[in-house]
Chains A and B, each alone.
Chain A
Amino acid sequence: MESLYAITTGLLSACGFYLTLRGRTFPVVVGLTLLSYAVNLFLFSMGGLTTDGAAIVNGPAAYADPLPQALVLTAIVIGFAMTAFVVILAMRARGEMGNDHVDGRKHDDGEERR
């Protein structure tokens, strides 16, 4: 189970890394989102993988580690805020520059006119 979890996290982050290296804004935003999923999974697993152990006192006997959960919870919300900011920035950049290249170049012949 642990190896499966680790491989999945690694693969998701690899996909995220690859997309952040692209040259257009939207794939980079998608890559960042993917990467934040992977990072959240990674951080979450720092407390170990517990089944049927939600950290509700008076509930089950063996609790999952609540601390990484609390951290990841806020990370998810902040991640949304950051994704929103970056994607709106990308829209703005396209509005100002006329293209959606990540380097914000004014003249870009590769732009798909649509």
Chain B
Amino acid sequence: MTLFWIALLPLFGSLVPAFTARRGRRECSLATAVLPAVALLLMLFQVPSLAAGEMLRFSVDWLPSLGLELAFRLDGLSLLFNLLILGIGLLILLYAHFYLSPDEPFGRFYAYLILFMASMVGIAMSDNLILLWLFWELTSLSSFLLIGFWSHRSDARKGARMALTVTGTGGLALLAGLLLLGDMVGSFDMNVVLESGEAIRADSRYPLMLSLVLLGAFTKSAQFPFHFWLPHAMAAPTPVSAYLHSATMVKAGIFLMARLHPAIAGSELWSAVVALVGTATLLYGAWFALLKTDLKAILAFSTVSHLGLITMLLGIGSPMAVLAALFHILNHAAFKAALFMGAGIIDHETGTRELGKLGGLRRAMPITALLMSLAGAAMAGVPLFNGFLSKEMFFTETLATPVLGGLSWLLPLLATLGGILSVGYSLRLVHAVFFKPPRQAPPKPPHEPPRLMHAPVAILVAICILVGLFPAALATGLLELATEAVLGESLDFHLAIWHGVNLPLLMSLVALGAGAASYLWHPQLRRLIRSFHPVDARLVFEGAIQRLVRGSEAAITRLDGGSLQRYMSYLWLAALVTGGLGLAGMPVLTGEHGNQPVDAVLLLGAGLLIFGGLGTVLTHRHRLISLLMLSVVGLVVALTFARFSAPDLALTQLSVEVVTMILLMLALFFLPQKTVRESSPMRNLRDILLAGALGAVVASLNYAVLTRDNAPISGFFIDNSVPGGGGHNVVNVILVDFRGFDTLGEITVLALAGLAIFKLLNRLRLFMPHSDGEGRVWSPDRYPMILTTISQAILPLALLVSAFIFLRGHNLPGGGFIAGLITAVALILVYMSRGVEWVQQRLDFPYQPVAVAGVAIATLTGLGSWLFGRPFLTSAFGYFKLPLVGEFELATAMLFDLGVFLAVVGATLMILANLGKLTTTHRPTKQLPPPTADPASKEKR
């Protein structure tokens, strides 16, 4: 459980600044430091049991089906990294307290910083591959927020975006790699993975997995050629640069390589790739560090270079090399964080980071000068500093390794070259800032910062010196644990300052001498380089991003240009292609049944359908006529249903047809009566071809299905309709019983459509025509007497029929849907013949509640079955006897059907009555406009 708290306390800690920011800066900084400090202490208490060789693990299932566990471990490697993350994190917090100006949102800054800390701790302690990746992504995100903290600055925004793009892409590759790794092992558990090294390396997917994982590690740790984001991330506030971009985040990639070392390292591929990339990064970073003039840029490139050094050591992969790598991680974090903070102090107190504007600061800032000189010496690898020790180990390993086969002798040479450059840039950094006479005065008169701002730097420099002087006493224990965690076995080693006069010592001396010389000739060197025109990574990157954006925009405009016609044609084209491909794969179109004979009635029906369909299209410019043609189709479709044994469908189609036509005619009243000719002939041809081809596909599919034997599943429904549902009309029983849930969904949609239309009609501005398409004015006889009389006579009759249809629906064609539609049509007829005012006086209630009540009744009927311990929508029925009436059946399905009925009536009338009301409120005045008037004035809003 302690492990759980070590890992999660910082995560909770990221919320602390939100609550304490208002109390003031000092309180907020102190409060923020509490939880990480507690986590650090908790972890230190675990060290004894760790040293005793205990395996500290904690795990809870999270998403077991995905192999994700909330699993943490604490071993030597986690300990080493947690010390860096929490320890340096606390120092950075202290430093940031003085660094940020009072008017900056420090609470937000702390929250991001601690969030980052928490995600790094998560990476270091994850005992599950997926969990590790989650925290990995969290570091990318929090780093994005931190780099872009000064969001008003363009370079900060661009740098943040670049970092996120590069590390985020790497993160995706890593996810793929880790999933592959988990698949190869059969588990995402870290222990299982680490123990299956042999099996992993033997797997055929090993090279792919390795390259994906390494892609993630290299992008995160700024390895060549993905290093370019790191210098641009220096737009962040300096505490961030010191913390994320030197001590911790950029080491996440290295941590990953160390963590997975037993599982994925040890192959030739690993050694070659990792060692070569590390070497390239080492030299590239060092070279550019020598040439930059911005303090933070120098430090950024030197970080790249040192990361390359560590990577190279991991690539070499021998036990001693791993030890050296781990040791250098520690040392580098100490001196580089100190240097960054020193650079931040200089920037803070002088207002510039340009070497050209600085110089001679040792008089104004003696303490800073001392601290930075010491840290710089550690970076350069001067004897008696910690950097010297790990660098010597590094030289020793490059001499011993056979990684590059016959070319392995190159490594010591390249390593020495790296050492020379490193001495050169360290010397330049310290000398140019503090000792060289200034060429011009800095923007602000330099002075020492508050004493406490020095404290974190001083602590780190002290560590550098103490470790350099007493390596055996201070670092051995920690490194023993860490190497054991990486290698899986304990390593016998002895850290010492003096190994006698040997080749590595000679290499160190050469590096120191030649490095000093390279600084002396630095001006000439710079002039030489200037002639090459270096490529600015940011310009290249921004250019690429902008090309990508433009390309996407062009693609989007092509695909999503806001033209419905284009969308429709894409949709139909896709349907044509998929349907056509399916048809093309069929050996014969006609199935085993062949055609049944055709009779005259069928021919007539088909002829009418075709006439109606074609007529609708051909007359579509004259909308009213087109609508009449459409109604022909609808009627004949109803007859078709009747002909092919579907009486329920025929009744439904017939009543829906009536409602649809009334609706469309009402709508047409408010729309233009004619369609202008605007499609080009080419476009028309294209549309005709597309529609025709798709129609042919539909016809072929239909024919293919019709002539084949189908194995229906409806035998069940027919068999169980009477014993299970208590109804003889199988279609109705399916609707209200077997598939009642579907029906419930459908009436809900119906009611929702009604409500949506009700809202759409609200405050609608309309164009009210005075005359029809041909210019004839509307008839003044608004309520024709014959219609009025008939409709009034029909209404009770229709309601009676509707009740009859409803009641018999369970056993004979009919039911709630049809009855509801008939009622709606009867009521609409009254509306049409008498007008809205007349009806409203007699039938004064809104229809929305009716529709809602319908859905509610249906739902409650379904819920009622829960009272009897049955699943939702279970139906019950029974037979009862009444005098006079005789025996009759009652079923809960009837109640459900009543809900359907009410929903249909309510929704239909909500739509039509509300639309019809508009014709009343917008009715034109009785006076006819003079015939000579301008046509535009006929339109009235």
Interface residues in chain A, defined as those with a beta carbon under 8 Å from any beta carbon in chain B: 1-30, 33-34, 37-38, 40-42, 44-59, 63-67, 69-70, 72-74, 76-85, 87-92, 94-96, 100, 102-103, 110-114
Q: How far is the CA of A52 from the CA of B668 in the complex (A)?
A: 39
Q: How far is the CA of A95 from the CA of B760 in the complex (A)?
A: 11
B702: which A residues are within 8 A, CB to CB?
Answer: 5-6, 9-10, 42, 45
Q: Is residue B562 contacting chain A, with contact meaning CB distance below 8 A?
A: yes
Q: How far is the CA of A46 from the CA of B712 in the complex (A)?
A: 9
Q: Is residue B390 contacting chain A, with contact meaning CB distance below 8 A?
A: no
Q: How far is the CA of A47 from the CA of B715 in the complex (A)?
A: 12
Asked if A37 and B637 sit within 8 Å, CB to CB, the answer is: yes
Q: How far is the CA of A113 from the CA of B90 in the complex (A)?
A: 74
Quick check: which of B44-52, B151-159, B742-750 contacts chain A, the rest being far away? Answer: B742-750
**Cβ-closest chain A residue relative to B767:** A94
Q: How far is the CA of A53 from the CA of B645 in the complex (A)?
A: 5
Asked if A81 and B750 sit within 8 Å, CB to CB, the answer is: yes
Q: How far is the CA of A57 from the CA of B637 in the complex (A)?
A: 25
Given contact pairs A8-B609, A10-B699, A22-B675, enumerate 17 new A-B contacts (beta carbons under 8 Å).
A8-B610, A11-B613, A14-B698, A24-B672, A26-B675, A29-B667, A44-B644, A44-B646, A46-B710, A52-B645, A55-B729, A73-B648, A73-B817, A81-B911, A87-B664, A91-B760, A111-B676
B722: which A residues are within 8 A, CB to CB?
Answer: 57
- Looking at the assembled complex, report how far the CB atom of B726 sits from the nearest CB atom of chain A, in whole angstroms: 11
Q: How far is the CA of A52 from the CA of B609 in the complex (A)?
A: 22
B648: which A residues are within 8 A, CB to CB?
Answer: 69, 73
B687: which A residues are within 8 A, CB to CB?
Answer: 18, 21
Interface size class, chain B: 35 or more
Asked if A83 and B644 sit within 8 Å, CB to CB, the answer is: no
Among B616, B692, B754, contact of A81 (Cβ-Cβ < 8 Å): B754
Asked if A1 and B597 sit within 8 Å, CB to CB, the answer is: yes
Digitize B764-802: 1 where CB-to-A-CB distance is under 8 Å, 0 elsewhere. 111101000100000000000000000000000000000
B627: which A residues are within 8 A, CB to CB?
Answer: 30
Quick check: which of B291-299, B401-409, B427-435, B564-572 contacts chain A, the rest being far away? Answer: B564-572
Asked if B568 and A21 sit within 8 Å, CB to CB, the answer is: yes
Among A2, A23, A100, contact of B596 (Cβ-Cβ < 8 Å): A2
A30: which B residues are within 8 A, CB to CB?
Answer: 616, 620, 623, 626-627, 630, 664
Digitize B800-820: 1 where CB-to-A-CB distance is under 8 Å, 0 elsewhere. 000000000001110001000
**Cβ-closest chain B residue relative to A47:** B712
Q: How far is the CA of A75 from the CA of B735 in the complex (A)?
A: 12
- Looking at the assembled complex, report how far the CB atom of A12 sits from the nearest CB atom of chain B, in whole angstroms: 5
Asked if B729 and A14 sit within 8 Å, CB to CB, the answer is: no
Q: How far is the CA of A100 from the CA of B564 in the complex (A)?
A: 13
Contact flag A70-B710 (CB < 8 Å), given A1-B602, A54-B647, A103-B563: no
**Cβ-closest chain B residue relative to A89:** B760
Q: Is residue B936 contacting chain A, with contact meaning CB distance below 8 A?
A: yes
- Looking at the assembled complex, report how far the CB atom of B259 sits from the nearest CB atom of chain A, in whole angstroms: 56
Contact flag A49-B672 (CB < 8 Å), given A17-B572, A95-B766: no
**Cβ-closest chain B residue relative to A92:** B760
The 9 listed contacts between A and B (C-beta, < 8 Å) are A13-B695, A27-B626, A28-B564, A40-B637, A45-B705, A45-B706, A47-B710, A49-B706, A92-B764
Quick check: which of B29-37, B372-380, B655-663 contacts chain A, the rest being far away? Answer: B655-663
**Cβ-closest chain B residue relative to A98:** B767
Interface residues in chain B, defined as those with a beta carbon under 8 Å from any beta carbon in chain A: 562-565, 568-569, 572, 593-598, 602-603, 606, 609-610, 613-614, 616-617, 620, 623, 626-627, 630, 633-634, 637, 640-641, 643-649, 652-653, 656, 659-660, 663-664, 667-668, 670-676, 678-679, 687-688, 690-692, 694-703, 705-707, 710, 712-714, 717-718, 721-722, 728-731, 734-735, 739, 742-743, 746, 749-750, 753-754, 756-757, 760-761, 764-767, 769, 773, 811-813, 817, 821, 904, 907-908, 911, 915, 935-936, 938-939
- Looking at the assembled complex, report how far the CB atom of B790 sits from the nearest CB atom of chain A, in whole angstroms: 25
Asked if A70 and B645 sit within 8 Å, CB to CB, the answer is: no
Q: How far is the CA of A113 from the CA of B750 in the complex (A)?
A: 34
Among A88, A96, A102, contact of B757 (Cβ-Cβ < 8 Å): A88
Contact flag A57-B602 (CB < 8 Å), given A30-B630, A65-B712: no
Among B568, B645, B695, B764, find the residue whose CB has the most chain A CB atoms closer than 10 A: B645
Among B687, B703, B718, find the residue whose CB has the most chain A CB atoms closer than 10 A: B703
Asked if A23 and B731 sit within 8 Å, CB to CB, the answer is: no
B616: which A residues are within 8 A, CB to CB?
Answer: 15, 19, 30, 34
Asked if A18 and B565 sit within 8 Å, CB to CB, the answer is: no
Asked if B695 and A17 sit within 8 Å, CB to CB, the answer is: yes
Asked if A13 and B698 sit within 8 Å, CB to CB, the answer is: yes
Asked if A91 and B705 sit within 8 Å, CB to CB, the answer is: no
Say what secondary structure dominates the interface of chain B. helix
**Cβ-closest chain A residue relative to B936:** A113
B667: which A residues are within 8 A, CB to CB?
Answer: 26, 29, 87-88, 90-91
Q: How far is the CA of A70 from the CA of B767 in the complex (A)?
A: 40
Asked if A54 and B645 sit within 8 Å, CB to CB, the answer is: yes
Among A15, A47, A56, contact of B728 (Cβ-Cβ < 8 Å): A56
Q: How far is the CA of A45 from the CA of B568 in the complex (A)?
A: 26
Q: How far is the CA of A67 from the CA of B645 in the complex (A)?
A: 13
Asked if A70 and B735 sit within 8 Å, CB to CB, the answer is: yes
Contact flag A85-B735 (CB < 8 Å), given A9-B702, A12-B633: no
B623: which A residues are within 8 A, CB to CB?
Answer: 26-27, 30
- Looking at the assembled complex, report how far the CB atom of B27 sits from the nearest CB atom of chain A, in whole angstroms: 55
Asked if B742 and A74 sit within 8 Å, CB to CB, the answer is: yes
A70: which B residues are within 8 A, CB to CB?
Answer: 731, 734-735, 739
- Looking at the assembled complex, report how far the CB atom of A38 sits from the nearest CB atom of chain B, in whole angstroms: 7
B643: which A residues are within 8 A, CB to CB?
Answer: 51
A21: which B residues are within 8 A, CB to CB?
Answer: 565, 568-569, 572, 687, 690-691
Asked if B911 and A84 sit within 8 Å, CB to CB, the answer is: yes
A6: which B residues are within 8 A, CB to CB?
Answer: 699-700, 702-703, 706
- Looking at the assembled complex, report how far the CB atom of A36 sits from the nearest CB atom of chain B, in whole angstroms: 10
Asked if A54 and B646 sit within 8 Å, CB to CB, the answer is: yes
- Looking at the assembled complex, report how far the CB atom of A67 sits from the nearest CB atom of chain B, in whole angstroms: 4
Q: How far is the CA of A24 from the CA of B676 in the complex (A)?
A: 9
Q: How far is the CA of A93 from the CA of B823 in the complex (A)?
A: 31
Contact flag A18-B688 (CB < 8 Å), given A113-B939, A114-B672: yes
Asked if B649 and A47 sit within 8 Å, CB to CB, the answer is: no
**Cβ-closest chain B residue relative to A54:** B645
Q: How far is the CA of A55 from the CA of B738 in the complex (A)?
A: 15
Q: How far is the CA of A37 from the CA of B698 in the complex (A)?
A: 13
Asked if B710 and A48 sit within 8 Å, CB to CB, the answer is: yes
- Looking at the assembled complex, report how far the CB atom of B857 sits from the nearest CB atom of chain A, in whole angstroms: 17
Asked if B729 and A84 sit within 8 Å, CB to CB, the answer is: no
Asked if B691 and A113 sit within 8 Å, CB to CB, the answer is: no
Contact flag A84-B564 (CB < 8 Å), given A9-B699, A47-B712, A50-B644: no
B572: which A residues are within 8 A, CB to CB?
Answer: 17, 20-21
Asked if A10 and B695 sit within 8 Å, CB to CB, the answer is: yes
B739: which A residues are within 8 A, CB to CB?
Answer: 70
Q: How far is the CA of A95 from the CA of B672 in the complex (A)?
A: 12
Among B596, B633, B663, B730, contact of A57 (Cβ-Cβ < 8 Å): B730
Q: How far is the CA of A53 from the CA of B643 in the complex (A)?
A: 10
Q: Which 6 A-B pairs have the closest CB atoms?
A: A10-B699, A14-B695, A6-B703, A17-B691, A81-B753, A18-B691
